[in-house]
Structure 1
Amino acid sequence: MKSKVTLRRKKSMVKRRTRKFNKRTLRKKIGFFSRHRYPQSNEFTRDKIKTHRPDAAQLTCSELLDKIIEALEEKKPLSVVSVGQTESFIMSQYTLYSHREILRDPETLKANEGVTTGLQHRGIRLPNKLARVEAVEAVRQADIVGYNTIIPSGALAEKVFEVHNIKPKYVFEAFLRRVMMYSQKEKFESMLGGRKILLISSIADQVKDSMDKNLKPKLGFDVVGSISINSFEEIPMVKEKVADYDFDLCLIAAGINAVILAPFIAQTYQKVAIDMGGGLSSLATGEMLACKWMTKRIGLDKLMGM
């Protein structure tokens, strides 16, 4: 007959084994659900993805405007978007960045401050999976895609293109949008001249007033409408309002929202839609919207000559 001490020892061993099994099983379950709900991408994973230029023709500023003017003259749809640092980050949610990394990233902190104007305006709160899905599909559909081809932040855009299998036909340096009205003045004015123009931006009314006052007498265009947008959630409302206007050219500045809207407008209404970004501010103020990347890292002379 077994002693009571031996029985107690066996029971204790069984409890310890059960406890270990339960902890191990729980960790596995947590890992399973975590991986499926929030893919565990991290910096190491991002570094493993090689960056390379898309197999696309890179347009100069002059060539970009030629494409736009040609589409306007022939009344063909055309969408031009730009994937900057913020747009790249939004498109990399849960693919190149894990949930924890997204929450800690400076882009998320900036976006969630809720600034509604200026360079700090993001027009979205993060994380946002729906924005990622819509932006990825929009860039796939865009006819011409801009991104930072010179400064280091462009590497993330190239990784995003690789991960999502985005293969643009044409690309251009995104900062050209801020100088094109100065470096290619004649072609830029030809793009606007005699057109029916729709503006979409948080500063749309300000841009309209400035264009009517400073450019309309010379170029004879008609700004048929200005639609204000401040956040991602307003996209459905903007899509509905666009239907109220008869226009040839739509100029948009709304961050990631512009990326989503431009291909939709081009395809739905068979028009030319351009994500102008900071370039639209130049039309409002009459001054170039410059930053340290343009003046110190790239150089204005280089941009003006591209």
Structure 2
Amino acid sequence: MQTKQLGSSQLMDEILECLNNMQPSSIISVGQTEAVVIGQDMFNSDPVLQNFQTHLRREAKIANKGIKKGFYHRGVRFPNPQAQKEALEAVKAADIIGYNMLEPNARTITQRIFSLYSIQPNEIF
């Protein structure tokens, strides 16, 4: 199965089609934090993710401060196997997944996590 990349107008068309036909659709965004949550136990063992140890440490440091709102709010603490399980289930169940394809580090981390967990979305944005 080939993943289809949607532009913003195509994404809106998909949303409108689902609304008009009253069909459920799960559309999520996987940011760097979500990718790190899912792959938190892989950064030491995976040769690609080992290059991004600083990202894991930075996310854990920010998350473990417990900030309750704003840009640095994460809503999780590390390590967090329950958050990992729930995030992985949500991503695998999503119909359309958005992630940062422009920033090289975020893209590499997310795509590697998808590969390690056999996540192949039908559509991405």
| Fold shared, TM-score > 0.5 on shorter chain | yes
How many pairs were matched up? 116
Find the counterpart in structure 2 of residue 171 from structure 1.
124
Instruction: Note the aligned Cα RMSD (angstroms).
Output: 1.9
For residues 73 and 55 of structure 1, what CA distance do their matches in structure 2 show? 26
Find the counterpart in structure 2 of residue 111 from structure 1.
63
For residues 125 and 133 of structure 1, what CA distance do their matches in structure 2 show? 14
1 or 2 for the larger relative contact order (CA 8 Å, sep ≥6)?
2
Find the counterpart in structure 2 of residue 158 from structure 1.
111
For residues 146 and 97 of structure 1, what CA distance do their matches in structure 2 show? 26
Question: Amino acid of the residue matched to residue 118 of structure 2?
Answer: N
Moved more, 116-125 or 154-163: 116-125
Task: Tell me how far 1:159 sits from its aligned partner.
Answer: 0.2
Q: 1:68 aligns with which of 11, 15, 38?
A: 15
TM-score by structure 2 length? 0.86
Find the counterpart in structure 2 of residue 89 from structure 1.
36
For residues 94 and 154 of structure 1, what CA distance do their matches in structure 2 show? 19
What SS class does the counterpart of residue 105 from structure 1 fall into?
Answer: helix
- Deviation track 1:199-258 (CA, whole Å, cap 9, x = no partner) reads xxxxxxxxxxxxxxxxxxxxxxxxxxxxxxxxxxxxxxxxxxxxxxxxxxxxxxxxxxxx
For residues 103 and 58 of structure 2, what CA distance do their matches in structure 1 show? 18
Distance 1:97 1:129, change over 3 A: farther
Stretches of 4+ aligned residues off by more than 6 angstroms = none
Which has more helix, going by share of residues? 1
Find the counterpart in structure 2 of residue 124 from structure 1.
76
Task: Tell me how far 1:96 sits from its aligned partner.
Answer: 3.0
- Deviation track 1:161-220 (CA, whole Å, cap 9, x = no partner) reads 000000100000xxxxxxxxxxxxxxxxxxxxxxxxxxxxxxxxxxxxxxxxxxxxxxxx
Task: Tell me how far 1:97 sits from its aligned partner.
Answer: 3.8
What SS class does the counterpart of residue 168 from structure 1 fall into?
Answer: coil
Task: Tell me how far 1:95 sits from its aligned partner.
Answer: 2.1
- 8 Å CA contact 1:84–1:154 kept in 2: the answer is no
Find the counterpart in structure 1 of residue 49 from structure 2.
none
Task: Tell me how far 1:55 sits from its aligned partner.
Answer: 3.8
For residues 97 and 88 of structure 1, what CA distance do their matches in structure 2 show? 15
Question: Amino acid of the residue matched to residue 110 of structure 2?
Answer: A
* Structure 1 unaligned residues grouped into runs of 5+: 1-53, 173-306
Name which one, 1 or 2, has greater alpha-carbon Rg. Answer: 1
Find the counterpart in structure 1 of residue 94 from structure 2.
142
- Deviation track 1:252-285 (CA, whole Å, cap 9, x = no partner) reads xxxxxxxxxxxxxxxxxxxxxxxxxxxxxxxxxx
What SS class does the counterpart of residue 81 from structure 1 fall into?
Answer: strand
